[in-house]
Structure 1
Amino acid sequence: MISLGINGREMTLDVDPETPLLWVLRDELRLTGTKFGCGVARCGACTVMLDGMPRRSCVTPIGSVAGAQVTTIEGMQGREIDAVQAAWAAIDVPQCGWCQSGQVMSATALLREIPKPSDEDIDHAMAGNLCRCAAYVRIRQAIHDAARTLEG
């Protein structure tokens, strides 16, 4: 039995401790906003927040996060996520959308850490998030737009 918080709810799960967090979220808890992309922590589609920091859930064994707080895209709240989502929608960032929950999670974490990021800050923070549709220019613009919204 593994106990942890998921989206603000304390849970005890009877799962193999080696099962990747991604599959517990998707298959056991039906939180399907977190996506499978590569399975080796290189694309960022599976990004969740672990104790407030971005983490690739596809390579994180559920047993290693016992006692932690996990937040998925479904559980994200706050000014930063609201600003990011509004900016994403305003300039039509997503194309296929597969990577977007991971992109939004990473962008939100960036703005929580650096409220006025430079292009270099954005490129560094988002480097682990791949977009098959190559929407990187719009992603960067949306992060700048969200930052301006937050400062105003």
Structure 2
Amino acid sequence: MSVCATCYQPNIRDHNKHNCPGLGEIQVSRQLGRGLIVDKAPRRARMNLSLLANHGYGLTMQSNDLINLADQVLYQVVGYDPEHAALVLELVEDWRQAGVITFDQCMTDAEVEAFKTRWKETYGNSQAAHVVTEVKAEEQRHA
């Protein structure tokens, strides 16, 4: 059984008939109020070397071969493509969670109160879990 080195498709019997999509393209957008958003993070991608020098793209080097993109995805450098003067990257971790709720608008006062009520019903009152002793200014001077 052979596996494509680019897209990792298994069970390739004839490499000439394999329709490999090639290296993917990382797509990023900048949204007002949310900052840099990674829209598309393929398993394997190519990245131009000049992007590492440009700090506007939110790239940071985690170690010698790990690149963090906007604190959302982590890629490992697995090769170099001299034809395109680009690094070949492989996705290591994707911290973008499917199903994470994001809000485009602020909650109204009524929604905040309803949320607080549900929280108290579920998790109890807002009292401390242990006894709290208030220290007054006079006691601090004598200590």
Query: Smaller-chain TM-score range?
Result: under 0.3
Kindly name which structure, 1 or 2, has the bigger radius of gyration based on alpha carbons: 2
Higher RCO (C-alpha 8 Å, min separation 6)? 1
TM-score (norm 1): 0.21
TM-score (norm 2): 0.22
